[in-house]
Amino acid sequence: MNEWSTDGSQIQAAIGGDHDALSAVWREHRRWVAAILIAHKPRETDLEDLLQVVAMQVCRKMSEVRDPNLFRPWLRTVAINAARGEGRKVNTRKRGMLRFVGFEHPNRRGVSDATHANGCSDDAKRVLAAALQLPESYREPVLMRCLKNMSYKQISAVLELPETTVETRIARGRRMLREIVQINDQQSEKQQQRELNKQSSMSDASASAISGGAR
Amino acid sequence: MNKEIHQSDDSYRPQREGGAMKDDQRDELISRVVDGCAGADDWNQFRQIAAEDQQIWSDLAVAQSQYEGLCETMHSAAATADSVELPGGMIRHAQHQQRFEFVSRWGGWAAAAAILLVWVTSMGNSQTNPDAQRQNAGMVPIGSNTMLQSATPEQAMDQYIAAGYQAGRVVGEIPNPILVETRPMDDGTFEVLYIRQILERKILDEVYRETNDEFGNSIPVPIQDAPKQVRSF
């Protein structure tokens, strides 16, 4: 897939209210929308819920797009706003959450339900966690490139950047990713070592206390 | 190091002996190989660099492995995305969006004109009708003889707000309702779904904060010292 299968005329038809064209346009673009959402959403937010929000916005606001060439950057902005809006809600909920006892918010789901990477290997989750630590301008192209066959040209159309810039950002982003994973691994090793030392010092202390008591 | 990465975006330059340009070139070569789009020239350059810098092979292996890990998670995300279709009822709505925009643009003025007309009419009535004067003296104008059973939904709602306000239960109504959806009807009219928000208050003996235990389960914890202000939900 070197080019989009939906061309400008189809996007124009979707803007004009052709629901078949709108469905086709959405189907072609929803995967990279998911990548953008992952790049910006809070960890505990459900990807599917956010995709539904974006889908609804596409239906409601599509007619406001004036130029078919600007559709993809517009869709990216819609996705980013949806993810950030959810981030603000999550922060508000975390700051002070009062509930009536026994009252369960209907939209609340467990954190484990929210991560789309549940079925993935531990290594994949670890790399994704590191990728989400990348600066924003590197995070998006690196993740989009991992969608099957999304070309530099397509990524550049979404990000409104020259292809060469996209290629450079992906290359640098991958280097940063290697460094972040390395640092994270070193930190977790140190943490494990500290816990081991703590456990051994505690067992030494209890052993000496027992021997002291026996004396 | 991590901190350094986060400090800047485009200004980030990896610190290596060969300088930023050489590092960028090295990174791009690795990236092209990972993406499977390296040409013969790229491979020649790669071999030249590898002759002096054996580390590049290790970096390539790590980059390839990480790329596959990310592809795995993105494949899962793509599967989720594939299951999300456009909301059916709203596609038809999109067809009428431009028409609706026209209506809403002028509808606001029409609504304002209608409110003004009702206000002027009721002013005229209140000057001649003593019952109407009593009605206008209250916070919510409802018929004084209207029983709840025979009231219209609007009258019942107004009655609830007025009674709730007097009892201290209702603080007020949020002025702007939230628009949920508009659906064009077959007869050319529009069905509008919206949420009216009533702000209520309650006095409670104790309040609880929701938190998670070590297993991630949600548990309520009583708040001992009353906070100055806590916003809920």
Whether residue B184 lies within 8 A of chain A, CB to CB, comes out as: no
Contact status, residue A86 vs residue A50, Cβ threshold 8 Å? yes
Domain positions in chain B are 2-82, 89-222
Statement to judge: residues A127 and A89 lie in one domain = no
Q: Is residue A107 part of a domain?
A: no
What CATH number has the domain bearing residue A21? 1.10.1740.10
The parent domain of residue A87 ranges over 1-94
pLDDT on residue B90: 54
- B98 vs A63: CB contact, 8 Å cut-off? yes
Bridge-partner residues for B192, per DSSP?
B182
Contact status, residue B38 vs residue A181, Cβ threshold 8 Å? no
Whether residue A48 lies within 8 A of chain B, CB to CB, comes out as: yes
Q: Is residue A111 part of a domain?
A: no
Task: Give tens-digit pLDDT for A13-39.
Answer: 999 888 889 999 999 999 999 999 999
Contact status, residue B129 vs residue B217, Cβ threshold 8 Å? no
Q: Is residue A114 part of a domain?
A: no
Closest CA to A25 of B172, B86, B155: B86
**pTM for the whole thing?**
0.59
Statement to judge: residues A77 and A7 lie in one domain = yes
| B3 has pLDDT over 90 | no
Best of B4, B80, B103 to mutate (most A CBs within 10 Å, chain A): B80
Question: Of the candidates A94, A109, A136, which is a domain's last residue?
Answer: A94
Statement to judge: residues A137 and A80 lie in one domain = no
Whether residue B102 lies within 8 A of chain A, CB to CB, comes out as: no
Statement to judge: residues A137 and A84 lie in one domain = no
Res. B1 pLDDT band, cuts 50 70 90: very low
Bridge-partner residues for A22, per DSSP?
none
Statement to judge: residues A87 and A125 lie in one domain = no
Statement to judge: residues A157 and A84 lie in one domain = no
Task: Give tens-digit pLDDT for B46-97.
Answer: 999 999 888 999 999 999 999 999 999 999 899 999 989 887 655 555 544 5
Distance from CA of B135 to the nearest CA of A (A): 38
pLDDT on residue A169: 95
Residues of B in contact with A18 (CB under 8 A): 95
DSSP string, B32-85: HHHHT---HHHHHHHHHHHHH-THHHHHHHHHHHHHHHHHHHHHHHHHHHHT-P
pLDDT on residue B225: 63
Measure CA A201 to chain center. Answer: 41
Q: Based on the structure, what is the number of domains in chain A?
A: 2
Q: Is residue A168 part of a domain?
A: yes
What CATH number has the domain bearing residue A191? 1.10.10.10
Whether residue B4 lies within 8 A of chain A, CB to CB, comes out as: no
Statement to judge: residues A87 and A6 lie in one domain = yes
Contacts of B137 (CB under 8 A, 6+ apart): none
Q: Where is average pLDDT lowest: A180-184, B15-19, B37-41, B73-77?
A: B15-19
Q: Is residue A106 part of a domain?
A: no
| A172 has pLDDT over 90 | yes
Q: For residues A54 and A29, give the distance between their C-alpha atoms in angstroms, rounded to a whole number.
A: 11
Give A 11-30 residues with CB within 8 A of chain B.
17-19, 22-23, 26, 30
| A187 has pLDDT over 80 | yes
